[in-house]
Amino acid sequence: MDIWKLSAVELGKKIKEKEVTVSEALEAALLQIEEKEADYNCYITVDRAAARERAQKVQKRIDSGELTSALAGVPVAVKDNMCTQGLLTTCGSKMLENFVPTYSAEAVNRLEAAGAVIIGKTNMDEFAMGSTTETSAYGATKNPWKKEHVPGGSSGGSAAAVAAGECFFALGSDTGGSIRQPASFCGIVGMKPTYGTVSRYGLIAYGSSLDQIGPMSRDVTDCAVILETIAGCDKKDSTSIDRKALSMNDSGWTGMDFSAALREDVRGMRIGIPRDYFTDGLDDEVKASVLGAAKTFEECGARVEEFDLSFVDYAVPAYYTIAAAEASSNLERFDGVKYGYRTAGYEDLHSMYRKTRSEGFGTEVKRRIMLGSFVLSSGYYDAYYLKALRVKALIKKAFDRAFETYDLILAPTAPTAAPRLGSSLSDPIQMYLSDVYTISVNLAGLPGITVPCGMTQAGLPVGVQLIGNCFMEKKLIQAAYTYERAAGKFPVPSERRGAK
């Protein structure tokens, strides 16, 4: 048995049935890391010793019947912008090259309470700003399907680690597509939950009103089970929502028993395809794959039709105004005093601040801080920041209108498959525009999932995105699961290579 090819839930079962030990599962992932890391660079930190020790402890608690969750004993990788107690957390930045948190993010705590074993921390765009993982201070991650291509970003390390079998599942964070886009580029499943569903406590903030943690997994079943494990109201995050209170008076769709939605059925579901998403910038092969997925939904009994979403052209400028504004404020705390890096030589307090921030932050982060400070400055606040907030409200309204007619919206996840390494950063505006299909989901606080739906001629995966109304993750999971069953399980990269 190739342990590393199992999904998280399959592995959890085998561990429970004593077919595989927790240590064997961990060693299987560590072996993949040994063999592939030099090529892919998915991780910033791998803590073998701590993971091995934890595997032993978890095994004992499984054997004693204390740990019964589906993820007990399953090795996981965590994006490096989530605090992990005692384990280096760099956020992909030189600024935090020596930051070892004294506490863990709530999502990480929940995974650990369920018995998952953290292998290490994955590579990412610096402070989650980027779409390729090339802005990391720790070198770019490569796409396991084709090494010359990016894995997407900003959670590119997590996506590549899952695709390469260097972990069984991973956590990512999504401010404007950073779970869904790399998942799509690497041929895995990724979900951004409704804002407020997963606690942001211990997630190093980028755009606080947009950030959500979510699952990155081999299949939809894993995605549902991971979400069920990490979701939940948390008093430590004031934007966290008590969904249990909500689900008492509804049809059952808004509940948090996400794995209950793993049923094959989309009969009668109304799925809308935004006509305005299928315009010039969309690659022909991606378009064909996504429309092919729409056809599969129809064959499974859904009612699929096109509609006009509107405001699509305004989503990118509104997002980059709001995200940069929030980032410029959130990143003020990195001043060489409280955390991480401090410059070696300085004359006074101000020169210490200036030199620390000049040396600690990379180019893309500085660009966002400058843009954010500009749109928040007096005289420009109304013209840019406030206007962007108004556009955000209009985008939310456009989705509200769509969900009066449709259960779900089907769209591409990204306009192209993974670009070549080195081809994106030279033109930031072009890179920002490529987020067009993912960012409005964050602006409107909605849940979105991406599922692999095809391959390009060049051998790169393509993902189809499903978007739901607030709290409708179960509808997304049910539809995505139905699609995955109908389309057949997506291969892992090495299987694909072996088949050739």
Residues of the shown chain interacting with ligand GLN in the complex, contacts defined by CB under 6 A:
128-131, 154, 174-178, 206, 323, 435
Residues 62/95, Cβ–Cβ less than 8 Å: no
In what helix (H) or strand (E) does residue 160 lie, and over which residues does it extend?
Answer: helix 156-164
From the number of C-beta atoms within 10 Å of its C-beta (0-12, 13-18, 19+), residue 268 rates as exposed
Distance in Å, CB of 283 to ligand GLN, minimum: 18
How far apart are CB 430 and ligand GLN at their closest, in Å?
Answer: 12
* Residue number, 174 or 473, with CB nearest to ligand GLN: 174
**Beta strand 75-79 pairing with 117-122:** parallel
Cβ proximity to ligand GLN, 168 vs 437, nearer residue: 437
Question: Which is catalytic among the residues 93, 154, 155, 424?
Answer: 154
Select 54 or 79, whichever has its Cβ closest to ligand GLN: 79
Q: Which of 93, 155, 178, 217 is catalytic?
A: 178
Q: Which is nearer to ligand GLN, 128 or 331 (CB)?
A: 128
Q: Active-site residue 240, yes or no?
A: no
Number of H helices, E strands in the chain: 17, 11
Closest by CA position to 417, among listed 376, 474, 463? 463
Q: Which is nearer to ligand GLN, 158 or 175 (CB)?
A: 175
Specify whether 79 is catalytic. Answer: yes
Q: Whose CA is closest to 164, among 216, 88, 229?
A: 216
- Smallest distance from the beta carbon of 371 to ligand GLN, in angstroms? 11
CA distance 370 to 21: 51
The dihedral over CA atoms of 478, 224, 11, 296, expressed in degrees to the nearest 10, equals 30
Q: How far is the CB of 250 from ligand GLN (least distance, A)?
A: 29
Q: Which of 36, 79, 146, 475 is catalytic?
A: 79
Question: Residue 32 or residue 131: which is nearer to ligand GLN going by CB?
Answer: 131
Active site residue 178: yes
**What is the C-alpha to C-alpha distance for residues 286 and 283, in angstroms, rounded to an integer?**
5
Inter-helix orientation angle 363-376/312-330, to 10°: 100
- Least distance (Å) between residue 335 CB and ligand GLN: 23
> Shortest Cβ distance from residue 111 to ligand GLN (Å)?
20
User: What's the CA gap between 110 and 216, in Å, rounded?
Assistant: 16
- Are 107 and 82 in contact by the 8 Å Cβ rule? The answer is yes
Percentages helix, strand, coil for the chain (3-state, rounded to 5) are: 45, 15, 40
Nearest residue relative to ligand GLN (C-beta): 178
Q: Which of 434, 360, 491, 363 is nearest to 132 (CA)?
A: 434
Which are the catalytic amino acids? 79, 154, 178
